[in-house]
Structures are given as structure tokens and as C-alpha cells.
């Protein structure tokens, strides 16, 4: 029997970066990553819209990694730049598909994107796998991670024709818990940050689609419960915010996943309450759960000041290199807070 590589060292935040909020904010704002050179393509969507897709590396016979960004993210987000640069270093081809309206141009339709958009994930991944001529590896970060897991659970065994392994970083698996969490206490800072770009983009749609939603409710929204009820839910076919949060959450889909999948979630993530993270009994045998005590929301900065995202990229590509179930037919590992 071939020897399996040793388990990766668990993530521990550096001493100079204490607390979930600081770990979150520093990684997003104060630790910029220089993006690699991208080649941009514009793809038409099945419903007559378009998205922007950024490629890096040689699109030849080597491995391909696809990254789905988080809320209001892009190929220039620090985590995306770090993963794409790590792909180049390893000789992989990297792809960042932008959700609608996130590539620098407003999309054409009244809809945009949302946390449970498995249909969008499906056609994008199938097109990339077709272009690559083989299944690909996929990373989803935050919102992108939840949507990717939603697709994995829906497709079940069929997903193996498209992806060989998947990783989700800090996905909000239960939106009914994460949504309200972002509307309380210090977390309101994050809500205001995201709404600062979401609201103008949404209100601009009224010029093309007058009367589609209540502009005053959107303009006055100071939390995601209000914004999602006023725009996200009705624009994407949900009855209201609670219907959206319930149906878009990926946690109920985790037992149906049938490809090797890593779910990396920090237990001090301000966006995702630790008590709603899944336990091994709530996921399939193909899912690896890693829940380090620290890391914040998509933080995982490591090393001496000013730090790098090397631990995160090493963990992701290490899993892609060795993401198959271990002895006994299970790939589930669980790290509790220490």
C-alpha cells in the first residue's frame, strides 16, 4: 500500500494578529496580493446575459483550478490573487469566473447573483471542464463556496464528470444564521461595506427595469435581511428573504456530496456562528471538515509580519493533490477549537 502524505499542520493565527475580526479585516484590506497576469474573456450566459472570466497560466494538458469568489469579490481579491499565483507556481492553469456584475461592467438582466446559485455554477463548470477536456478542481470562497457546495449536493454522483475535487473556504452554510449575524454588533461594519457597492449597482437596474422593486427599501437597507428581502429574493425567484435563506443554504445538501470535498471553516469566523458549523454526522463520507479555532472570515494569514496566505494556498493545493478518501472509505476529519 502506498504511503499517504502526513496530515497538514492545523492553522494557527500568528501572535501579532489576534481575534476573528482583525484576522478578517487584515486579510481583506491590509494584506494586498498582487494578481497574476490575466487573459479576460466575456461569455454569454444561457439566459442572454454575460459574465467576465479571467484566465492565467498555460491552458494546456496540466491541471486546472477554478475559483468562485465571494460577495462583491473578483479576480483581484487577495484570496483569488493568492490562489491564482499559487496555481502558476505549480504549473497549473487558473480560472476566475466573475459572478454577474462583478467583472467591472453591469450585467444586462434584472437578476444578479446569489448565495445558492447552483445553476450558474453548473454551466460555468461544465464549460470549463469541456474546454479543459477533463474534470477540474474548484475552490469556492464564502458566498462562492456555499453556491459551489449547493451545486455539489444537487448533482451528487454526476459532479464527478465535471470536478475531480472541491474546496470551500468559510462558506455560510446556514444563511438563516449568517444573515442575521451580519446585522448585529460589530458585524454591521461588514454589512455596510458590502452594501456600499451592492445598493448602487442594484438601484442602477431601475433605469432599465423601472418598478422592478422598491427603490426606497433598497436605498435605506442597512442590513442583509432588508436588502435580500427587497431585492435578492424577488429578483431570483424566492418568495421573501426567509425563503431565500432557507433554500439557498448548502448545509442540507452536504450528505449528498460524492466527490472529495474540503470544507475549511474558522470557528471564530464573524460571518458564520461556530455552533451552526457541520459535524461529521451531517456530511457525506467524501467530505473533509477542517474547523481551526482561528482564521476569521477568509483570513488564514500566516508567518511573520506582514504575513502571507501561503498556509491557505498550500492547504488547498495539498488537498487537490491528495483529496481522495483515506482508509476505511472516509475522508472526514474534524478539528475542534482548542
Q: Alpha-carbon distance 129 to 133, whole Å?
A: 6
Catalytic residue numbers read: 142, 269, 297
Look at residues 20, 15, 26 and name the one whose alpha carbon lies nearest to residue 294.
20
Contacts from 197-202 at CB under 8 Å and sequence distance 24+?
A: 197/72, 198/72, 198/227, 199/227, 201/101, 201/106, 201/112, 202/112, 202/227, 202/231
- DSSP-derived 3-state class of residue 143: helix
Query: How many beta carbons lie within 10 A of that of residue 296, not counting itself?
Result: 25
**CA dihedral angle for residue 208, residue 213, residue 215, residue 219, rounded to 10 degrees:** -110
Look at residues 94, 107, 97, 102 and name the one whose alpha carbon lies nearest to residue 48.
107
Q: Containing H/E element for 248?
A: helix 241-248
Q: Alpha-carbon distance 224 to 188, whole Å?
A: 10
What would the grid cell of residue 123 be?
454551466
| Beta strands 287-290 and 64-68, pairing class | unpaired
Dmax over CA atoms of the chain, in Å, equals 65
- DSSP-derived 3-state class of residue 241: helix
Q: Alpha-carbon distance 138 to 144, whole Å?
A: 10
Contact between residue 112 and residue 235 where contact means Cβ atoms under 8 Å apart? yes
- DSSP-derived 3-state class of residue 95: strand
Amino acid at each position: 500500500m502506498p504511503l499517504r502524505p502526513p496530515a497538514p499542520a492545523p492553522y494557527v493565527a500568528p501572535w501579532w494578529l489576534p481575534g476573528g475580526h482583525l484576522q478578517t479585516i487584515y486579510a481583506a484590506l491590509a494584506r494586498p496580493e498582487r494578481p497574476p497576469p490575466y487573459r479576460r474573456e466575456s461569455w454569454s450566459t444561457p439566459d442572454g446575459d454575460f459574465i467576465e472570466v479571467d484566465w492565467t497560466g498555460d491552458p494546456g494538458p496540466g491541471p486546472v483550478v477554478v475559483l468562485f469568489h465571494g460577495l462583491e469579490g473578483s479576480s483581484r481579491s487577495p484570496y483569488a490573487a493568492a490562489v491564482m499565483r499559487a496555481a502558476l507556481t505549480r504549473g497549473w492553469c487558473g480560472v476566475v469566473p466573475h459572478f454577474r456584475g462583478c467583472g467591472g461592467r453591469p450585467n444586462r438582466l434584472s437578476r444578479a447573483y446569489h448565495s445558492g446559485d447552483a445553476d450558474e455554477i453548473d454551466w460555468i463548470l461544465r464549460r470549463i471542464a469541456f474546454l479543459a477536456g477533463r474534470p477540474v478542481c474548484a475552490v469556492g470562497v464564502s458566498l462562492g463556496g456555499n453556491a459551489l457546495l449547493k451545486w455539489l449536493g444537487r448533482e451528487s454522483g454526476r459532479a464527478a464528470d465535471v470536478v475531480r475535487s472541491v474546496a470551500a473556504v468559510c462558506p455560510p452554510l446556514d444563511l438563516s444564521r449568517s444573515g442575521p449575524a451580519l446585522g448585529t454588533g460589530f458585524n454591521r461594519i461588514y454589512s455596510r461595506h458590502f452594501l456600499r457597492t451592492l445598493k448602487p449597482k442594484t438601484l442602477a437596474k431601475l433605469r432599465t427595469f423601472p418598478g422592478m422593486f422598491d427603490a426606497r427599501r433598497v436605498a435605506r437597507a442597512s442590513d442583509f435581511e432588508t436588502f435580500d428581502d427587497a431585492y435578492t429574493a424577488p429578483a431570483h425567484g424566492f418568495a421573501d428573504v426567509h425563503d431565500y435563506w432557507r433554500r439557498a443554504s448548502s448545509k442540507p445538501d452536504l450528505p449528498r456530496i460524492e466527490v472529495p470535498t474540503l470544507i475549511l471553516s474558522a470557528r471564530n469566523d464573524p460571518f458564520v456562528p461556530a455552533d451552526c458549523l457541520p459535524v461529521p454526522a451531517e456530511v457525506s463520507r467524501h467530505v473533509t471538515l477542517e474547523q481551526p479555532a482561528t482564521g476569521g472570515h477568509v483570513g488564514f494569514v500566516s508567518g511573520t509580519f506582514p504575513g502571507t496566505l501561503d498556509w491557505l494556498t498550500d492547504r488547498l493545493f495539498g488537498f487537490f493533490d491528495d483529496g481522495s478518501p483515506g482508509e476505511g472509505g472516509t475522508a472526514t476529519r474534524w478539528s475542534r477549537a482548542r
